[in-house]
Structure 1
Amino acid sequence: MKVFCGRANPTTGAVEWLEEDENYDYHQEIARSCYADMLNDKDRNEKYFQGIRAAVGRVKERGERAIVLDIGTGTGLLSMMAVTAGADFCYAVEVFKPMADAAAKIVEKNSFSDKIKIIQKHSTEVTVGPDGDMQCRANILITELFDTELIGEGALPSYEHAHQYLVEEGCEAVPHRATVYAQLVESKRMWSWNKLLPIRVHAEDGEKVVVSLPEMEDCPGAPTVYDIQLNQVPFGDFTALSKVVAVFRIDFSKPVSRASGHHTVQLEPIRSGRAQVVLSWWDIDMDPSGSIKCTMAPYWVQTASDDIPWRDHWMQCVYFLPNEDLVLQGESVDLTAFHDDYSVWYRLQKGRNDDAGIDVCVERPVCCCQAHLLWNRPRFGELNDQNRTAQYVQALKKALKRDSVCLSISDGSLLPVLAHHLGAEQVFTLESSAVSHSLMKKIFKANHLEDKIKIIEKHPELLVSSDLEDRKVSLLIGEPFFSTSLLPWHNLYFWYARTAVASFLTSDVTILPQSASLHMMIVEFKDLWRIRSPCGTCEGFDVHIMDEMIKNSLDFRESREAEPHPLWEYPCKSLSDPLEVLTFDFRHTVPEHVLRKEGILNLLRTGKSHGAVLWMEYHLTPGLSVNTGLLQVSNEKGYCQWTPHCKQAVYFFSSVTEPKPLTSNHSAVAYAIGFSPKTGNVTMDFKLLN
């Protein structure tokens, strides 16, 4: 059956109706999943196998049959481990139909169909009995229901139901327990991901300060955790105010409750400072003795000799406190972790050693200032980047005149405030959503500009002359930034918006930025290549079906094949020089003809060519640019530094395999890059040359 799906094109802003089959959403979910990463996580797989062998062994020592329940089986890997370890039978539960189908094929391929039953249901719908999905309760419970926050994939409700209805009392569980750890830190960099800091602008009539809205001061922020690769955050970017403490534990072999709760630990600050952020992670013990441990601890917690496994499916958590609070060395404070059935959040209390007053914080935090609804964490960092702001201030000083009528087109941008402070006669800002309109209205009011800057809540194509008070725009500005953008070129929506408002511009209008360019470089990733690496075999089991499944599902329609990734979290080295491949001139309207460039890019360094990285650079005025990608190639080895505020586009080559030291299979890459103005799509094709 075919269906038609309406989808807003991030680049053109137009709604497109695309014909899809009924499994389209499934395909997209598989494409964005981490199945390959998990299957290639050797440390995870080995620890699970060890824990499963030990659990089966303990059951057999008691003279019992080993009946396994595997919740969230995915590929069926853990179930196959259990049977290999001697389990008599395994019930493998998987609610996601395409994965359940794949698991059935993989189990059959590995000749385990007689001992593994795939149940395509949510575990809370599974029944036990002669006519049920399971003939009897299991005495071994195996799960992999965890995310970076541990409980974010619904582990607690699933465990609660399983203990009530699906497993025997006192069952063996793999993993056996989990421990959540936390560390209190001060970090200017991380705090800039959560609050809008004051921005100072030097104008002709003195210094102006752009302030945040009052509601943001005590706003708890975005309700979701910020999961990042903490191993890529330099130790100098934060100051530890406490030692690492165990906040709470969950024993999976005993009944588990999904009820909301809290756990308080007393901290003894190891130094004085501003408590701003809680860094958190967890580890799991695969056996009761704790001798088989899988940990997410970052590098500064583990010993120097540890070979820290790389993972992208489990990372570490950054939790922001509602406001910064001064803590003093030697004066204890209480850190409380709250949780509901899916989320964790933290609060800090000073001078309390009991749970008095705790109940006021049990409610899951929700943004009350609206800024966290419009701006994600990287966007906060971008707005707080003083060097970036300085580029826009310099460009505006060059472009502005006393009689300038300015129109800003970006989502929730502070450029209108900067333009006003730097002397624009009249400033209009186009906000296409009710959230951005409401937020900017509050920011303008906090800066006493509610009567100075006019907000127009419209899409560009709906603009009429009266919206601009019948005036012509002499300066059109944009960062550009749009909240719907995923890939670097999606912000080219500014070009389409500029074209839509062309009739309202003066003949000598200044466009800022005046142009943009798309850049490309061939890289070798240290670890990121693993997420698209073939699975083939895993712990001796044939799981190649997943390779075909992932390959067939990689249909990133926004770019044809590129994927967005924040490369500051994923080290890589350049194998080629960066190359400018396409330019987009905003001083003119969007052309009708396709922009295209073909050529050959020579590889200058040895290494494995994992893929191409693409990013945008915006040219504000002659000599002033803002880069959204490569900042520099740091040394002769080619290690790259990337802007932390944006995601870059990564095109993985089809032959992604584990790199071999000091070898290179290719000496050049042939490329063809095209931009279709009609669709807004960037298409690309690459061929590795010997």
Structure 2
Amino acid sequence: MASTYLWKLHDLSGIEAKVSDGIHLVPTGSDSIIQVKSRQYPMHCDAIREEIKLLSEPFEIFEFDFWKRPESNGETKVQVKVIDDGNIHAIVSWWVLQLDREGTVFYSTAPRWINSPASIGYWDWCDHWKQCVWFFRGKGMSVSRGEEVLLEASHTETSVSYNLNVQVPKNDTRQHDHNIRDFQLLLSPERIAIYGDSKWRSSVLAAVRNALQGRVNPLCVVVDDSIFLTLLAANLSKTSHVLSLFPGLREKGAQYLETVVKANCFSMDRVEVPEKRKPCLTLQDTRGKKYSNKLLLRFLSQVDMLIGEPYYYANEGMLPWQNLRFWKDRTLLDPVLSEDALIMPCKGILKACAMSLPDLWCSRCCLGDVEGFDHSIVNTTLGACGELPAPKEGPFLPFSIWQCGEIKELSEIFTILEFDFSKPISSCHGTAQVKFTEGGICHGFVLWVDWIMDTDNSIVISTGPEHRYWKQGVKLLSKPVAVGINGCNSNSEYGSTIVEALLEPSSSELILKHAFL
């Protein structure tokens, strides 16, 4: 299939060619230095139906006969007829089970927009059965209606992989980047899309440029795993010194910087990545020790800027407030900050919204008697959230709301907590009374963090539901609640709710309480 959205999730080289901010995460001739891992990615493809173009009819890849033991490994080749013009960016796959010997009962995990006999009548949204998306390298393979392409597929006991077997032209610059594999960064599709997003890049660029104004020979510390911020700080100020801690990328990050330094017009004598990161660096670390690197020595004396996106390589796909690790790191480095040190982002705001999430709630509610069998024993294992006996509460779920099936906002978006990064880390408590703006069934609250990048509050990076590249935190209710506008529609409906939150940033543990009024 062809899809600009899917293309943006894996081809940073092609996307970056369209931006003009002077930062080259993927320099010409090194297009494989940042890639997604070659594997299938789970996704609810119903949500992107309007953003894809089907280039073939559905076709079978593998068939497994469960009456006999299947082979652990297998390969196949399929001639696929193209039904429309376009670039093949990805292949979407799913499975179909034949449940009876006669072949009259099927269970399909196909997206709703696939018309096949096995999919007829199957319209239930199931979180646990997503489709699988496999990305093809670069801009994809250009095809025309009526032609055939050869698709190669192979499987192991646990995975399936695909290849279009595209021949790379001899003059293609990709033939020169085979040695880059040693320095290659494998990032998530969402992270690649963020790095290629022109609006995100321009916002971060403006924030860093404003922060650097008026600073002579600034020492800038990038506390997280942001390669973009590191390149940006070194590129925008020719007198800046940058120390990137790279807690997750570590030596891979250092090797990456050395590979792209020339394309980004700065030298490595202004950039440092410590070989080993200590839990905390202080002024006392300089006593009785000799450092061969002048930049590291200066770091232990004074820091002018401490910045982050925040993004931590190990936190991808986790709850949004777990990136408050930035606040913890900022606090550990407090002894080496100058008096006028700039902290970016300067503030974080925890926002929330009451929502109707019937599909997600049904897929997370407790199991009981199913067709005469007691399934309750698996509730704890599966992390059930709905229909829990009082006073038990379900956990927060990291989830991309746009892939959540049917959704509806029932309240205004409200602020529940604020985090001031100009001060050391501390526990946070907040309460908000929220009126419902729509009637419906409330299944829970969706929470996210807006990162305020500057002191003027003019540059905001939001991780809310309207943005696809971040996960939100979802707190499902034990039982759904009927709500209405001011509760006037029915005596059984609630018109508002009080939400109380307590967060301990050092452990990223958030406690959320609510009361419907």
TM interval, shorter chain, is: 0.7 to 0.9
TM-score normalized with structure 1 length: 0.62
Cα deviation, 1:240-281, whole Å, max 9, x if unaligned, reads 3323221221122234222x2111101222334332311111
C-alpha deviation, 1:215, in angstroms: 6.0
Is contact 2:225-2:249 (8 Å) kept?
Answer: no
- Once the two structures are superposed, what CA deviation does each residue of 1:118-153 show, in whole Å capped at 9, x if it has no partner? xxxxxxxxxxxxxxxxxxxxxxxxxxxxxxxxxxxx
Does structure 2 conserve the Cα–Cα contact (< 8 Å) formed by 1:412 and 1:440?
A: no
Aligned: 1:508 with 2:343: no
* Aligned residue number for residue 82 of structure 2: 269
Pick from 409, 417, 439: which aligns with 2:231? 417
Conserved in 2, the CA contact under 8 Å of 1:534 and 1:544?
yes
Where does residue 111 of structure 2 map in the other structure? Answer: 298
Structure 2 vs 1, CA of residues 628 and 459 (structure 1 numbering), >3 Å: closer, same or farther?
A: farther
Contact 2:312 2:323 in 1 (8 A): yes
What secondary structure, in the 3-state scheme, does the structure 1 residue paired with 2:280 have? helix
Specify the alignment match of 2:403 in structure 1: 569
Deviation (angstroms), 1:338: 0.6
Relative to structure 1, is the Cα distance of residues 293 and 560 closer, same or farther in structure 2, using a 3 angstrom cutoff?
Answer: closer
Per-residue deviation, 1:516: 0.6
The percentage of counterpart residues that share the same residue type is 24
Residue 240 of structure 1 aligns with an amino acid whose one-letter code is L
Amino acid at match of 1:338: S
CA contact (8 A) 2:88 2:143 kept: no
Structure 2: 5+ residue stretches without partners: 168-180
| Partners of 2:43 and 2:131 within 8 A in 1 | yes
Q: Which residue matches 2:206?
A: 394
Q: How do 1:634-649 and structure 2 match up within 5 A? A: 642-649=466-473
In structure 2, give the amino acid aligned to 1:314. W
Residues 547/478 of structure 1: CA separation in 2 closer, same or farther (3 Å cut): closer
Distance verdict in 2 for CA 1:679–1:311, change over 3 Å: closer
Aligned partner of residue 561 in structure 1, secondary structure: coil
Amino acid at match of 2:5: R
| Cα displacement (A) at 1:527 | 0.5
* SS of residue matched to 1:498: helix
Corresponding position of 1:106: none
Shift of 1:620: 0.5
Q: What is aligned with 2:453?
A: 620
CA spacing shift, 1:444–1:200, aligned 2, 3 Å: farther
Structure 1 residues 658, 194: closer, same or farther in 2, change over 3 A?
Answer: farther
* Of 243-252 and 605-614, the range deviating more from structure 2: 243-252
Q: Which has the higher strand share?
A: 1
Specify the alignment match of 1:479 in structure 2.
309
Give the Cα separation in 2 of the matches to 1:445 and 1:548. 47
2:479 partner SS: coil
Does 1:286 find its partner at 2:99?
A: yes
Given the alignment of the two structures, is residue 670 of structure 1 paired with residue 486 of structure 2, yes or no? no
1:399 is paired with a residue of what secondary structure? helix
Q: 1:188 to 1:566 in 2, by over 3 A?
A: same
The aligned residue for residue 461 of structure 1 is 280
Contact 1:274 1:324 in 2 (8 A): yes
1:201 deviates by 6.8
Q: 1:433 to 1:585 in 2, by over 3 A?
A: closer
Distance in 2 (CA, whole Å) between partners of 1:479 and 1:235 is 31
CA distance in 2, matches of 1:613, 1:655: 16
* Structure 1 counterpart of 2:177: none
Match of 2:129 in 1: 314
Within a 5 Å distance, the mapping from 1:49-88 to structure 2 comes to none
Deviation at 1:460, TM superposition (A): 5.6
Q: What's the offset of the Cα at 1:189?
A: 1.9
Decide whether the 8 Å contact of 1:575 with 1:606 is kept in 2: yes
Which protein shows a greater Rg?
1
Paired amino acid for 2:60: A
Q: Tell me if structure 2 keeps the 8 A contact 1:407–1:475.
A: yes
1:568-609 per-residue CA deviation (whole Å, 9 max, x = no partner) reads 201421111111111111112223xx3212243222221111
> 1:636 matched to which residue of 2?
none
Find the residue that maps to 2:417 and give its secondary structure.
strand
Aligned partner (choices 380, 384, 387) of residue 196 of structure 2:
384
Q: In the alignment, which residue of structure 2 is the partner of 1:590?
A: 425
Aligned amino acid, residue 688 of structure 1: F
What per-residue deviation string (whole Å, max 9, x for no partner) do you get for residues 197-220 of structure 1?
3277766xxx45442586653988
Query: 323, 326, 330: which one pairs with 1:494?
Result: 326
Higher mean displacement: 489-498 or 455-464: 455-464
Cα 1:508/1:219, change in 2 over 3 Å? closer
CA pair 679-292 structure 1, distance change in 2 beyond 3 A: closer
User: After the TM superposition, which of the residue ranges 331-340 and 321-330 deviates more from structure 2?
Assistant: 321-330
Contact 2:226 2:309 in 1 (8 A): no
Q: 1:553 to 1:297 in 2, by over 3 A?
A: closer
How far apart are residue 339 of structure 1 and its match?
0.7
Structure 1 position 686, deviation (Å): 1.8
Q: Match for 2:152 among 333, 336, 343?
A: 336
Change (3 A) 1:346 1:369: farther
Aligned ranges 1:189-338 → 2 under 5 Å:
189-197=5-13, 198=16, 207-212=22-27, 217=32, 221-236=36-51, 238-258=52-72, 260-302=73-115, 306=121, 308-329=123-144, 330-338=146-154
Alpha-carbon offset, residue 544 of structure 1: 4.7
Distance 1:214 1:434 in 2: 26
Q: Which letter does structure 1 place at the counterpart of 2:498?
A: A
**C-alpha deviation, 1:548, in angstroms:** 7.3
2:346 and 2:420 in contact (8 A); partners too: yes
Q: Which residue of 1 aligns with 2:516?
A: 688
Q: Is the Cα–Cα contact under 8 Å of residues 566 and 647 in structure 1 kept in the other structure?
A: yes
CA distance in 2, matches of 1:657, 1:599: 18
Is the 2:343–2:421 Cα contact (8 Å) retained in structure 1?
yes
Q: 2:245 is matched with which residue?
A: 431
Calculate the aligned-residue CA RMSD, in Å. Answer: 3.2
* Superposition deviation, residue 498 in structure 1: 1.1
The secondary structure found in structure 2 opposite 1:349 is: coil
Shift of 1:405: 2.4
Q: Does the CA contact (< 8 Å) of 2:11 and 2:139 recur in 1?
A: no
Q: Which residue of 1 aligns with 2:175?
A: none
- Name which of structure 1's ranges 578-587 and 596-605 shifts more when overlaid on structure 2: 596-605
* Counterpart in the other structure of 2:353: 521
Q: Write the letter of the residue equivalent to 1:393.
A: L
Superposition TM-score, scaled by structure 2 size: 0.81
Residue 494 of structure 2 aligns with an amino acid whose one-letter code is H
Instruction: Give how far 1:308 is off.
Output: 1.4
Q: Compute the displacement of 1:625 (Å).
A: 0.3
Instruction: Describe the shift of the 1:548–1:325 C-alpha distance in structure 2 as closer, same or farther (beyond 3 A).
Output: closer
Map 1:346-361 → 2, pairs under 5 A: 346-349=162-165
Instruction: Report the CA distance shift for 1:445/1:427 in structure 2 as closer, same or farther (over 3 A).
Output: farther
Rounded to whole Å, the distance in 2 between the matches of 1:549 and 1:294 is 25
- Distance in 2 between residues matched to 1:527 and 1:313, nearest whole Å: 11
Residue aligned with 1:490, SS: helix
User: In structure 1, how many angstroms separate the alpha carbons of the residues matched to 2:506 and 2:134?
Assistant: 42
Amino acid at match of 2:420: D
1:390 deviation in Å?
A: 1.1
Shift of 1:221: 4.0
